[in-house]
Amino acid sequence: MPETKFKKTEDFNEWYNEIVELADLCDKRYPIKGMNVWRPYGWTLMSQVDRLTRDQMQKTDHQEVCFPLLIPESSFKKEEEHIEGFGSEVYWVTHAGLNKLEEKWLLRPTSETAMYPMFSLWIRSHTDLPLKTYQIVNTFRYETKQTRAFIRVREIHFFEAHTCHKNFKQAEKQIKEDKEIADRIFKKLSLPFIFSKRPEWDKFAGAYYTISLDVLMPSGRTLQLGSIHQYKDNFAKPYEIKYENPQGKHEYCHQTTYGMSERILGAIIGVHGDNKGLVLPPEVAPTQIVIIPIIFKGKEKPVNEKSKKILEQLVDENIRVKIDKREITPGNKFYEWELKGVPIRLEIGPRDIEKKQITIVRRDTGIKKLIQETELIKEIKKEFEEISKDLYDKAKKIIDEQMHRVNTIDDATKLKGIIELPWCGNESCAMEIEEILEGNTLGEPIQKEEVKEKCPICGKPSKTYMRYAKTY
C-alpha cells in the first residue's frame, strides 16, 4: 500500500504540506499568496472545531454576535498602542467603485476597534454587566513571512471572545473561566498545551497582560494556538466604555479577550498525524466511522444490507458515519480513509455476518479486533474515549520529554524543545538568551513559584522562570 512521499519523522515540513494537499483540506493555488481555499473536508473539520467552541461558549453564557469586517481609520486610531502594534499589518480599502472614500477603512485584524465604540453605546448601567460576547469570523493580517497552510495565513478563520466587567477583579474571574474553557476544548482535541504569561515587550498591543496557549509541534517548534488578554481599562478609557454603579457614579469597565484561530487545525494535523496521513480526534472528525463492505461475488446482498443496518444504528446514536460502496479494492479504500484520518474503520464481510461479528480497526494504532454485533455501540463509544485518551497521552509524553528546566546557559544549549531558565526580569537578559539559543521567549509559567537560582546572564536574583523555544 502506498504511503505518503514524505515521512513525518524525517521531513516534518514537507510531510505537513503534502498531507494538507492529499487530504483535501485546503488549496494553496489561489492567486493571492496566503489566502487559501477551504476545501470541503478541511472546512467540515474546521466547522467541527467551531461547533466545539460554540458549545463551550454557550455553556458559559457568552452570546454570539457578528460585527462588520471593515473598520474606519478613526475608530482604529483611538488606542495608541494598538495602532502601533497593528498599523503596519493591515489591509486598507480606499475606493468604492470609482470613488475615493472620504475616510479609508481597514480589514479587521481583530475586532477591538470595531466592537468597542458599540460597547460604549450598549453599556449604561452595572446591570448591563458582565457583557460576554464572541464571534467566529474571517480576519486579515498582512504577513510578510513565509506562509504555511493554517499556521501562517493572510485571511484567518478566527474566534474572538470580548467581555466587559465592573472591575479588575471581575475581569480576572473571566480570565480564570477562559483558562478552564481552553482546558476543556483542548482536552477534547487531545492537544496538551502550556499557558505562558508573555513578557511585557511581547504582549498584545494595548493589553495589560497576555497569556498565550502554545503546543509543541513535532518539528520541535512551538505553535501559538490562542491567547487570553487582560485589558484592564486600557481600551475602556479611549473608547469611553463606562457604566453607572449602584451609587450613581460612572466608572470605566475592565475588559478581557480570548482568541483562537485556524492554527488549531495545524496542531491537529502536526501533533496527531503519522506517515499514513491525518489522525483525527473522534470529537471533531468529519467522518467518525467508515464502513467498508467486503464484497465477494454472489454475496453482495447480505453484506450491503448488513452495512446499511449498522449505519442506521450508528446514525441513531448521532455518530458521523459513511459507507464506502465504491467499486475499488478494499485496500484502496483503507488507504484513502487512513489518509483522511477517520478514527475507526468497520469491515463487514460474509463470514462476519454468519458469526454476527464485526471487524473494528483503530486509525491511531492500526489495531484490529473482532467484536460481537450486539456490543457495537458500547464498543464504539469505549474506543472513541480510548482513542482520545491515547492521542492525548502520546502527545503529552512528547511535550513532557521536550520541556526542560535548567539553570545554566551551558545546559540549555544542549537541549531541544521548550527550555525554562531562571530570569531576573530584565528584557536585555532575555534577549541575550534568545540570541544564544536561537529561539524566542514564550513567557513565564502562570503559576507563581519561588526561584532560588540566579539569572544566568546578569547573576542577579531571579523573579521567575522564562521559557524559550523555536516558534512558528
Applying CB under 8 A, does 261 fall inside the site for its own copies? Answer: no
At its nearest, how many Å lie between its own copies and the CB of residue 384? 22
Q: Which candidate, 181, 392, 160, 150, places its Cα nearest to that of 283? A: 392
Cα–Cα distance, 99 to 259 (Å, whole number): 35
Applying CB under 8 A, does 30 fall inside the site for its own copies? Answer: yes
At its nearest, how many Å lie between its own copies and the CB of residue 170? 21
Of the candidate spans 89-97, 267-275, 298-306, 346-354, the one that interacts with its own copies by CB under 8 A turns out to be 89-97
Of the candidate spans 130-138, 165-173, 404-412, 443-451, the one that interacts with its own copies by CB under 8 A turns out to be 130-138
Among 12, 15, 105, 334, binds its own copies (CB under 8 A): 105
Applying CB under 8 A, does 332 fall inside the site for its own copies? Answer: no
Applying CB under 8 A, does 224 fall inside the site for its own copies? Answer: no
Cell of residue 272, nine digits: 496527531
Among 31, 246, 248, 298, binds its own copies (CB under 8 A): 31
Applying CB under 8 A, does 110 fall inside the site for its own copies? Answer: no
Cα–Cα distance, 102 to 74 (Å, whole number): 12
Among 17, 18, 43, 470, binds its own copies (CB under 8 A): 43
Given CA atoms 160, 163, 167, 169 in this order, what sign does their dihedral have? negative
Cα–Cα distance, 202 to 180 (Å, whole number): 23
- Amino acid at residue number 143: E
Among 2, 10, 29, 452, binds its own copies (CB under 8 A): 29
Cα–Cα distance, 357 to 371 (Å, whole number): 6
3-state secondary structure at position 21? helix
Please count the CA atoms within 13 angstroms of the CA of 464 that sit on its side-chain side.
15
- Of residues 369-388, those binding its own copies (CB under 8 A): none
3-state secondary structure at position 406? coil
Q: Which candidate, 451, 469, 449, 464, places its Cα nearest to that of 402? A: 469
Residue 72 or 350: which CB sits closer to its own copies?
A: 72
Answer whether 228's CB lies under 8 Å from 175's CB.
Answer: yes
Cα–Cα distance, 141 to 262 (Å, whole number): 14
Applying CB under 8 A, does 65 fall inside the site for its own copies? Answer: yes
At its nearest, how many Å lie between its own copies and the CB of residue 62? 9
Which residues make beta-bridge pairs with 162? 133, 257
Among 25, 52, 57, 90, binds its own copies (CB under 8 A): 90
Cα–Cα distance, 6 to 8 (Å, whole number): 7
Residue 142 or 472: which CB sits closer to its own copies?
A: 142
Residue 24 or 251: which CB sits closer to its own copies?
A: 24
Applying CB under 8 A, does 60 fall inside the site for its own copies? Answer: no
At its nearest, how many Å lie between its own copies and the CB of residue 337? 17
Residue 260 or 442: which CB sits closer to its own copies?
A: 260
Answer whether 342's CB lies under 8 Å from 321's CB.
Answer: no
Binding site for its own copies (CB under 8 A): 27, 29-32, 35-40, 43-44, 47, 63-70, 72, 74-75, 87-98, 105, 107, 114, 117-118, 121-122, 133, 137-138, 142, 155, 157
